[in-house]
């Protein structure tokens, strides 16, 4: 009788030690994926979301680049003529279009972009000019203060805000629920 109890005790102790070792290991982050450090403030009363992001991006292409593209979907505005198509799409999904379509659009603002490091060189982190592409109003073009060669990284800060509307969709507020799906800037390349 004593032997099975001792065996079970040893097994439990071994699993506890092994479980602790497994829990202590953190999965490694692939070095070529973007890294984000986010400071987010959500005021649910006014519907204002303020953010500050430190981003690091590694050039995985086989040629250097002197710019980074950032997707910022809250800058989107429905083009003239597309409203009817979007409304019909929502109706097919059994949703009322007025609850999900924002006719005004452009509820996101990027107020500052500052590059901190390009490749191995630290640069002056002053705000730099940026623009949106004419053919894609959600693609923010950030010119760099030098080239990022293949395998090198660039680090920069993005500061902005989003005004949430009372709509169902990717970002907004509805029936006391706040959602930010695809609302924050992400590095495209």
CA distance 156 to 138: 19
pLDDT score of 140: 93
**Token pair of 114 as six digits:** 């500052």
What pLDDT does residue 18 have?
53
**Taking Cα atoms as reference points, which of 121, 169, 149, 125 lies closest to residue 63?**
149
pLDDT in tens, 51-69: 999 999 999 999 999 999 9
Residue 36 has pLDDT above 60, yes or no: yes
How sure is the predictor about 8, in pLDDT bands with cuts at 50, 70 and 90? very low
Task: Specify whether the CB–CB gap between 158 and 110 falls below 8 A.
Answer: yes
pLDDT, mean over the chain:
81
Alpha-carbon distance of 86 to 72, in angstroms, equals 20
| pLDDT at position 29 over 80 | no
Phi, psi angles (nearest 5°) of residue 61: -75, 170
Window from 36-45, 58-67, 100-109 with minimum mean pLDDT: 100-109
Q: What is the pLDDT of residues 66-89, one digit of tens each?
A: 999 999 988 888 777 887 887 888
Q: Do the strands 139-148 and 131-132 form a parallel or antiparallel pair, or are they unpaired? A: antiparallel
The pTM score is 0.74
Q: Is the confidence at residue 131, as pLDDT, over 70?
A: yes
Instruction: Give me the mean pLDDT over the 180-188 stretch.
Output: 88
């Amino acid at each position: 009788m004593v032997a099975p109890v001792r065996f079970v005790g040893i097994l439990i102790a071994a699993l506890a030690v092994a479980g602790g070792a497994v829990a202590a290991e953190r999965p490694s982050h692939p070095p070529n994926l973007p890294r984000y450090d986010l400071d987010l403030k959500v005021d649910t009363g006014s519907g204002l979301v303020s953010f500050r992001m430190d981003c690091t991006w590694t050039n995985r292409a086989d040629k250097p680049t002197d710019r980074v593209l950032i997707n910022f979907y809250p800058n989107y505005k429905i083009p003239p003529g597309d409203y009817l198509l979007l409304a019909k799409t929502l109706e097919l999904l059994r949703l009322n279009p007025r609850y999900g379509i924002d006719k005004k659009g452009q509820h996101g603002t990027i107020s500052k972009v500052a590059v901190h490091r390009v490749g191995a060189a630290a640069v002056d982190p002053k705000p730099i000019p940026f623009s949106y592409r004419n053919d894609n109003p959600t693609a923010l073009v950030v010119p760099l203060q030098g080239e990022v060669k293949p395998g090198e990284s660039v680090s920069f800060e993005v500061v902005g805000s989003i005004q949430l509307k009372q709509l169902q969709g990717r970002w907004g507020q509805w029936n006391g629920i706040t959602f930010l799906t695809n609302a924050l800037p992400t590095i495209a390349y």
